[in-house]
Every structure is written in structure tokens, then in C-alpha cells.
Amino acid sequence: MRLDGLWLGQVAMAALMNVAFAFVVGSALLGAWLASDARAAVAPGRAAWLRAQRSMLTAAIVLLLADLGWLLYQSAAMGGVRLPAAFALLPVVLLQTYVGYAWSVAFGGALLLLLSVLLGPGGGARHALFGVGALAVAAGKAALGHAADDGLVSVTLAVHALHVLSTSVWGGLVLAAGFAVLPALGESVARGVLIRTSLKLSHASLVALAFVLVSGAFNLERGTGGSLEAIQSTLWGHVLLLKLALVALALGLGGLNRYLVLPRLRRTASTMDARTFVNVLHLEALMMLAVFITAAVLAHSVPALAAAG
């Protein structure tokens, strides 16, 4: 691993891929939950539902562009050339390398996600395309990381794909709700929609978090071999500790909303409690942004066990 411009470009594109994929997943779930409250043009949940649709479309496009950017940086790094010269290497990377095959799966999944969004809301075909696309993106992203070292057909790769998908559900709900969707439910006439959507968000996040923690523990054991020394003495270990601290902060903010703010909001339905919930969620979303960035750094760094020898 060389800390140069190519490495920074790869990490930046990988972080953008992480965030965009999470936004697509989170926006899709929120849009589905809000659909029944957005049928009429003047429905209280209409503005939030429209934000979820726009957020999903924008994120799907950004995901495709970030995928292409990452491939270009990766080709330059593999060929040891400057970025402009990497265009000539793209056919070789795509057709003759494992990275190209894994990237093609992830990019194909991103295309399916965009197609499902363009088909419009509702319909079994859209849901099927979205589900297949999300699974393909998660599998492809997992195969582009260190989990593929154990082979394409391995428990390690399957667990990491589950980690990618569950993290995108948890983080995506937080990002899409905190930055785009829930702020549109600030009016008192939409208070009931806000409460119902927040309850669904809280329950789904808790389920996704359980999968994140279990799969994350597996990845942690694999990356460190259970060695605290490997964590303390390597760059990968230091970044991991930063990521765990950010996750802990996000968990604290999520717990504050779930166990203190949301129950009070359900009792009072007041504007102040509604604003408190959305503001805390916004802070949690900022933490999730940082988590996805550190995850990209980890994916492009030598694991602690290997770095420590």
C-alpha cells in the first residue's frame, strides 16, 4: 500500500460508493414505508416520499459514476501508470483480472438498481430488480476487498457480503432519513407520518444492526487473528479503532433517539420533540458518513494480521 494520489483516489471513490449504495437502500425502504401516506398530491407524507424518490435516483447515478471512477484509479494502480494512461488498461483489467470480474458484478448490480428506480414506484418487477441489484452490489463490493483472499466460494466472502448489505441498510436508513427524508415531515399535519416512519426506521435499524455486529465481529477476528498487538502496532488497527469509536457514537445517538426521544415524541407529538428526534438523527447521519469513509480506508489498507507478520 502506497499513500499516494492513486491510493487517495481509490479510497475517495470507495467511500463514495459506500455512501451512495447506502443512500439507495435507505431511500428505497423509506419510500416504500411512505407510499401509503403519499397517494394524494396534498397528502402529509407526499413531500417526504418525493424526497425519497429523488434521493434514490440521485444516489443510484452517483453509485454508477463512483464505480467507474474507482475502476479507473484501480487500473492506474495495478498498471503503475498515471491516471490518463489508465484508460488504455481498462479492457485488460476488466477481461483478464479477478478485480475486473468482481467489479463487473458490482457495476451490473448498480445498473439494475438504477433501472429499478427508473421503472417508477411499485410493481413486482421493480422490487425484483432492486433486490437482485442490491445483492449483486453487496457481493461485488465484498469480492473487491480482503474477504476474497479466501476464494470466491467461501464463508468469509459470504459473511462480508452480509456485512456490506446490513451496514447499508442500517447506515442507509440513517443517512437518507437524517439528511433528506424526515426533515420534510416537520409540519404538524405530518406528525403522525413522522412518528410511524420513525418507529419503522428504529425497528429496521435494530435488526440490521444485529447482523452488522455479528458479521463485523467475524471480520474483526479474521483481520486481526485475535491479536491486540496487531491492532496497536498497525495503521489498519488504528483506523479500525477510529471506526469502532465512530460506530459507538452512532450507536449512542441512535439509542438516545430510540429509548428517550421517540417514546416522548409518541406521547406528546410536540414540535420540539419532533425537531429533537430529527436533529439527533442528523448527528447520527454525520457519524455514519465518517464510518463509511473509514471503512473505505480499511478496505484499501493491509489488514493488521498481515501487516504485523
Residue 52 domain boundaries: 5-307
Contacts of 37 (CB under 8 A, 6+ apart): 43, 44, 45, 46, 49, 193, 196
Between the two ends of the chain, the Cα-to-Cα distance in Å is 15
pLDDT in tens, 44-91: 899 999 999 999 999 999 999 999 999 999 999 999 899 889 999 999
pTM as predicted: 0.94
What span, in angstroms and rounded, lies between the C-alpha atoms of 195 and 174?
15
Burial of 104 (0-12, 13-18, 19+ CB in 10 A): middle
Mean pLDDT of 82-101: 92
Q: How many domains does the chain have?
A: 1
pLDDT in tens, 211-237: 999 998 888 887 676 667 767 878 888
Q: Residue 212 maps to which CATH number? A: 1.20.1630
Q: Are 144 and 265 in contact, with CB atoms under 8 Å apart?
A: no
